[in-house]
Amino acid sequence: MTRLHATLPTALGDLLVVADDGGLAGVYFPDHWHPPAPGTLGAEVDPARDPLIARFAGELDEYLDGRRTAFDLPLAPVGDDFQQAVWRMLRDIPYGQTVTYGELAARLGDRNLARRVGNAVGRNPISIVVPCHRVVGADGSLTGYAGGFERKHRLLELEGAAVVQRRLF
């Protein structure tokens, strides 16, 4: 596996993008809650010179301009089986819609898994593309986001999702 990374300037701030032979492995905001471990990024590359990172940059620009509602990229997130299951469900949340942690837990067969689902959502390594910003609290309120509350709010507004209220935690 050959890992590499690049930093992309965007309207949401600089994004650290990590790719490997299998696909996009990470998209991290500045001050991300769970950044990649030191020594796991691979070589730094010019984002325009790596085909996958350049493709992501183009699709992200289209998304942020409102011209794209879904990403079409190979993904390679690293996580345990439970995390992978949650991240697959995140990819199924339609553009402009939100779900709660409890709803995701119920889809897994046990609403009591909501806290564990929340932990997996918070550790999603591929922000925006795997849309963890579409997960909200039980009352529809905004809850924590590894990229920060303001970015979550901005992404949901961009998608036209109903935002009930602002909440810091």
Question: Which residues form the catalytic set?
Answer: 132
CA distance 108 to 140: 20
Q: Report the DSSP beta bridge partners of residue 19.
A: 4, 24
Angstrom distance (rounded) from CA 152 to CA 63: 14
Structure-token match 């930093």, residue found: 7
Structure tokens at 79: 């996580």
**Count of beta carbons in the 10 Å neighbourhood of residue 70:** 12
d(CA 48, CA 75): 19
Q: Give the whole-angstrom CA distance, residue 160 versus residue 95.
A: 9
Q: How far apart are the C-alpha atoms of 71 and 94, rounded to whole Å? A: 12
